[in-house]
Amino acid sequence: MSTQPTLLLVHGAYHRPWVWDRVIEQLPDVDVHTVACPSSGSDLGALGTLQDDADTVAAAVAAIDGPVVVVAHSYAGSVVTEALAGADNVNRIVYLAAAMVDEGESLLGSAGGVPPSWWLISKDEGPEGGVIRVAEDEAKDVFYGDVDPELAAEAIEKLVPASYSSQTGPVSRAAWHTIPSTYIICTADNAIPPFAQEAMAQRAKRVHRLDSSHSPFLSMPSELAALLKVELAS
Protein backbone atom coordinates (compact mmCIF):
# COMPACT_ATOMS: atom_id res chain seq x y z
CA MET A 1 0.00 0.00 0.00
CA SER A 2 1.43 3.36 -0.99
CA THR A 3 2.18 6.02 1.59
CA GLN A 4 0.00 9.12 1.55
CA PRO A 5 2.09 12.19 0.75
CA THR A 6 2.93 14.78 3.35
CA LEU A 7 1.05 18.05 2.92
CA LEU A 8 3.15 21.24 3.06
CA LEU A 9 1.17 24.48 3.37
CA VAL A 10 2.72 27.82 2.40
CA HIS A 11 0.96 31.04 3.41
CA GLY A 12 0.69 34.21 1.36
CA ALA A 13 1.98 37.72 1.99
CA TYR A 14 0.99 39.72 5.10
CA HIS A 15 -0.03 36.50 6.84
CA ARG A 16 1.70 33.79 8.87
CA PRO A 17 1.11 30.03 9.23
CA TRP A 18 -1.87 30.57 11.55
CA VAL A 19 -4.04 30.95 8.45
CA TRP A 20 -4.03 27.16 8.01
CA ASP A 21 -5.21 26.23 11.51
CA ARG A 22 -8.87 25.70 10.61
CA VAL A 23 -7.95 23.57 7.59
CA ILE A 24 -5.49 21.45 9.56
CA GLU A 25 -8.28 20.67 12.04
CA GLN A 26 -10.15 19.06 9.13
CA LEU A 27 -7.17 16.82 8.26
CA PRO A 28 -6.52 14.74 11.39
CA ASP A 29 -5.18 11.78 9.41
CA VAL A 30 -2.78 13.79 7.27
CA ASP A 31 0.85 14.61 8.07
CA VAL A 32 0.72 18.39 7.67
CA HIS A 33 3.67 20.77 7.77
CA THR A 34 3.63 24.56 7.45
CA VAL A 35 6.26 27.08 6.43
CA ALA A 36 6.79 30.63 7.72
CA CYS A 37 7.95 32.84 4.86
CA PRO A 38 10.54 35.40 6.03
CA SER A 39 9.31 38.10 3.64
CA SER A 40 6.29 38.76 5.90
CA GLY A 41 6.62 39.63 9.57
CA SER A 42 6.54 42.26 12.27
CA ASP A 43 10.34 42.71 12.45
CA LEU A 44 10.95 45.03 9.51
CA GLY A 45 14.71 44.64 9.69
CA ALA A 46 14.42 40.88 9.24
CA LEU A 47 12.08 40.84 6.25
CA GLY A 48 13.38 38.62 3.48
CA THR A 49 13.19 38.47 -0.29
CA LEU A 50 11.39 36.16 -2.68
CA GLN A 51 14.59 34.12 -2.84
CA ASP A 52 14.72 33.86 0.95
CA ASP A 53 11.18 32.49 0.91
CA ALA A 54 12.06 30.07 -1.87
CA ASP A 55 15.10 28.84 0.04
CA THR A 56 12.93 28.30 3.13
CA VAL A 57 10.39 26.25 1.20
CA ALA A 58 13.07 24.25 -0.60
CA ALA A 59 14.67 23.37 2.74
CA ALA A 60 11.31 22.34 4.21
CA VAL A 61 10.62 20.04 1.27
CA ALA A 62 14.11 18.53 1.41
CA ALA A 63 13.64 17.76 5.11
CA ILE A 64 10.55 15.64 4.43
CA ASP A 65 11.22 11.95 3.88
CA GLY A 66 8.89 10.81 1.13
CA PRO A 67 6.46 12.36 -1.33
CA VAL A 68 5.03 15.84 -0.74
CA VAL A 69 2.06 17.80 -2.02
CA VAL A 70 2.74 21.53 -1.68
CA VAL A 71 -0.12 24.03 -1.33
CA ALA A 72 0.63 27.69 -2.01
CA HIS A 73 -1.74 30.55 -1.30
CA SER A 74 -1.63 33.88 -3.12
CA TYR A 75 1.93 35.31 -3.25
CA ALA A 76 3.30 31.92 -2.20
CA GLY A 77 2.57 30.75 -5.72
CA SER A 78 5.62 32.72 -6.82
CA VAL A 79 7.62 31.24 -3.96
CA VAL A 80 6.92 27.59 -4.74
CA THR A 81 7.25 28.17 -8.47
CA GLU A 82 10.83 29.28 -7.80
CA ALA A 83 11.60 26.92 -4.93
CA LEU A 84 10.46 23.58 -6.30
CA ALA A 85 12.12 23.56 -9.71
CA GLY A 86 14.27 20.46 -9.60
CA ALA A 87 12.68 19.01 -6.45
CA ASP A 88 12.43 15.23 -6.81
CA ASN A 89 9.95 14.40 -4.04
CA VAL A 90 7.09 16.80 -4.88
CA ASN A 91 4.13 14.92 -6.34
CA ARG A 92 2.01 17.97 -7.02
CA ILE A 93 1.74 21.72 -6.49
CA VAL A 94 -1.67 23.13 -5.57
CA TYR A 95 -2.05 26.83 -6.35
CA LEU A 96 -4.78 28.32 -4.15
CA ALA A 97 -5.82 31.69 -5.62
CA ALA A 98 -2.10 31.97 -6.21
CA ALA A 99 0.48 33.48 -8.52
CA MET A 100 1.16 30.66 -10.97
CA VAL A 101 3.79 32.68 -12.78
CA ASP A 102 6.28 31.77 -15.47
CA GLU A 103 9.96 32.64 -15.73
CA GLY A 104 10.43 36.40 -15.63
CA GLU A 105 6.96 37.07 -14.21
CA SER A 106 6.05 38.42 -10.75
CA LEU A 107 3.11 38.45 -8.38
CA LEU A 108 2.37 42.09 -9.20
CA GLY A 109 2.46 41.35 -12.91
CA SER A 110 0.09 38.41 -12.51
CA ALA A 111 -2.47 40.68 -10.83
CA GLY A 112 -2.38 43.40 -13.47
CA GLY A 113 0.96 45.15 -12.99
CA VAL A 114 -0.35 48.17 -11.05
CA PRO A 115 0.01 48.39 -7.25
CA PRO A 116 -3.52 48.16 -5.78
CA SER A 117 -5.03 50.87 -3.60
CA TRP A 118 -4.71 48.72 -0.49
CA TRP A 119 -0.92 48.59 -0.76
CA LEU A 120 0.53 51.15 1.67
CA ILE A 121 4.12 51.38 0.45
CA SER A 122 6.89 52.78 2.65
CA LYS A 123 10.21 52.98 0.81
CA ASP A 124 12.11 54.24 3.87
CA GLU A 125 11.53 51.26 6.16
CA GLY A 126 12.81 47.74 6.32
CA PRO A 127 14.97 46.11 3.64
CA GLU A 128 16.06 47.59 0.33
CA GLY A 129 12.96 48.59 -1.61
CA GLY A 130 10.90 49.17 1.52
CA VAL A 131 7.81 47.48 2.87
CA ILE A 132 4.13 47.13 2.08
CA ARG A 133 1.36 47.24 4.65
CA VAL A 134 -2.28 46.41 4.02
CA ALA A 135 -4.73 49.29 4.41
CA GLU A 136 -6.85 48.15 7.35
CA ASP A 137 -10.00 49.82 6.04
CA GLU A 138 -9.78 47.73 2.86
CA ALA A 139 -8.55 44.44 4.32
CA LYS A 140 -11.99 42.96 4.98
CA ASP A 141 -13.17 43.50 1.42
CA VAL A 142 -9.87 42.47 -0.18
CA PHE A 143 -9.11 39.32 1.82
CA TYR A 144 -12.08 38.28 3.93
CA GLY A 145 -15.29 39.22 2.13
CA ASP A 146 -17.16 36.04 3.07
CA VAL A 147 -15.48 35.47 6.44
CA ASP A 148 -17.44 35.79 9.68
CA PRO A 149 -17.00 39.44 10.78
CA GLU A 150 -15.55 38.54 14.18
CA LEU A 151 -13.09 36.10 12.65
CA ALA A 152 -12.19 38.61 9.94
CA ALA A 153 -11.49 41.27 12.57
CA GLU A 154 -9.15 38.86 14.35
CA ALA A 155 -7.37 38.13 11.08
CA ILE A 156 -6.93 41.82 10.30
CA GLU A 157 -5.30 42.30 13.71
CA LYS A 158 -2.76 39.63 12.78
CA LEU A 159 -1.73 41.11 9.42
CA VAL A 160 1.97 41.99 9.15
CA PRO A 161 4.07 43.97 6.66
CA ALA A 162 5.76 42.34 3.67
CA SER A 163 8.91 43.34 1.82
CA TYR A 164 8.24 45.30 -1.35
CA SER A 165 10.84 43.33 -3.29
CA SER A 166 9.13 40.00 -2.62
CA GLN A 167 5.87 41.22 -4.12
CA THR A 168 7.42 42.68 -7.25
CA GLY A 169 10.40 40.44 -7.99
CA PRO A 170 10.24 37.97 -10.89
CA VAL A 171 10.88 34.25 -10.64
CA SER A 172 13.83 32.75 -12.50
CA ARG A 173 12.42 29.21 -12.82
CA ALA A 174 8.97 27.68 -13.07
CA ALA A 175 8.48 24.37 -11.28
CA TRP A 176 5.04 23.74 -12.79
CA HIS A 177 6.68 23.02 -16.14
CA THR A 178 7.87 19.69 -14.72
CA ILE A 179 5.72 19.06 -11.63
CA PRO A 180 1.98 18.29 -12.04
CA SER A 181 -0.11 21.18 -10.78
CA THR A 182 -3.64 21.99 -9.69
CA TYR A 183 -5.24 25.43 -9.50
CA ILE A 184 -8.06 26.31 -7.09
CA ILE A 185 -9.86 29.42 -8.31
CA CYS A 186 -11.63 31.53 -5.70
CA THR A 187 -14.51 32.99 -7.67
CA ALA A 188 -15.34 35.86 -5.28
CA ASP A 189 -11.74 36.97 -4.76
CA ASN A 190 -10.99 40.70 -4.50
CA ALA A 191 -7.22 40.33 -4.04
CA ILE A 192 -6.25 38.40 -7.19
CA PRO A 193 -9.10 38.94 -9.66
CA PRO A 194 -10.86 35.76 -10.78
CA PHE A 195 -10.15 36.59 -14.43
CA ALA A 196 -6.43 36.61 -13.62
CA GLN A 197 -6.79 33.30 -11.79
CA GLU A 198 -8.65 31.80 -14.74
CA ALA A 199 -5.79 32.82 -17.04
CA MET A 200 -3.11 31.33 -14.80
CA ALA A 201 -5.16 28.19 -14.24
CA GLN A 202 -4.76 27.39 -17.93
CA ARG A 203 -1.24 26.31 -17.00
CA ALA A 204 -2.49 23.70 -14.51
CA LYS A 205 -3.32 20.07 -15.16
CA ARG A 206 -6.44 20.24 -12.98
CA VAL A 207 -8.71 23.09 -11.93
CA HIS A 208 -11.18 23.38 -9.04
CA ARG A 209 -13.37 26.32 -8.06
CA LEU A 210 -14.54 27.55 -4.68
CA ASP A 211 -17.23 30.20 -4.37
CA SER A 212 -15.13 32.04 -1.82
CA SER A 213 -13.16 35.16 -1.09
CA HIS A 214 -9.36 35.18 -1.09
CA SER A 215 -9.39 33.29 2.23
CA PRO A 216 -11.26 29.98 1.97
CA PHE A 217 -9.06 28.62 4.76
CA LEU A 218 -11.15 30.85 7.05
CA SER A 219 -14.55 30.94 5.34
CA MET A 220 -14.88 27.34 4.14
CA PRO A 221 -12.11 25.23 5.68
CA SER A 222 -13.99 21.95 5.33
CA GLU A 223 -14.59 22.46 1.61
CA LEU A 224 -10.96 23.40 1.07
CA ALA A 225 -9.78 20.42 3.10
CA ALA A 226 -11.96 18.12 0.98
CA LEU A 227 -10.25 19.37 -2.18
CA LEU A 228 -6.83 18.88 -0.63
CA LYS A 229 -7.74 15.29 0.24
CA VAL A 230 -8.57 14.73 -3.43
CA GLU A 231 -5.16 16.07 -4.41
CA LEU A 232 -3.38 13.93 -1.83
CA ALA A 233 -5.11 10.83 -3.18
CA SER A 234 -4.43 11.53 -6.84
Distance CA 48, CA 166 (A): 8
> Count of residues for the chain?
234
Do residues 216 and 197 lie in contact, with contact meaning Cβ atoms separated by under 8 Å?
Answer: no
Mean pLDDT of the chain: 96
Confidence of residue 1 (pLDDT cuts 50, 70, 90): very low
The pLDDT of residue 101: 97
197-200, long-range: CB within 8 Å, 24+ apart, which pairs? 197/97, 200/77, 200/95, 200/98, 200/99, 200/100, 200/101, 200/110
Distance CA 139, CA 152 (A): 9
CATH 3.40.720.10 fits 6-233, yes or no: no
**Dihedral (CA of 208, 212, 217, 222) sign:** negative
pTM of the model: 0.96
Do residues 139 and 12 lie in contact, with contact meaning Cβ atoms separated by under 8 Å?
Answer: no
Distance CA 7, CA 29 (A): 11
Distance CA 93, CA 80 (A): 8
Average pLDDT over residues 22-45: 98
Q: Describe the chain by its helix, strand, coil percentages, rounded to 5.
A: 35, 20, 45
Distance CA 200, CA 100 (A): 6
Residue of 107 and 158 predicted with greater confidence: 158
Distance CA 6, CA 67 (A): 6
122-126, long-range: CB within 8 Å, 24+ apart, which pairs? 123/164, 125/44, 125/161, 126/44, 126/45, 126/47, 126/161, 126/163, 126/164
Average pLDDT over residues 122-128: 91
Domain locations along the chain:
6-233
The pLDDT of residue 51: 97
The pLDDT of residue 107: 84
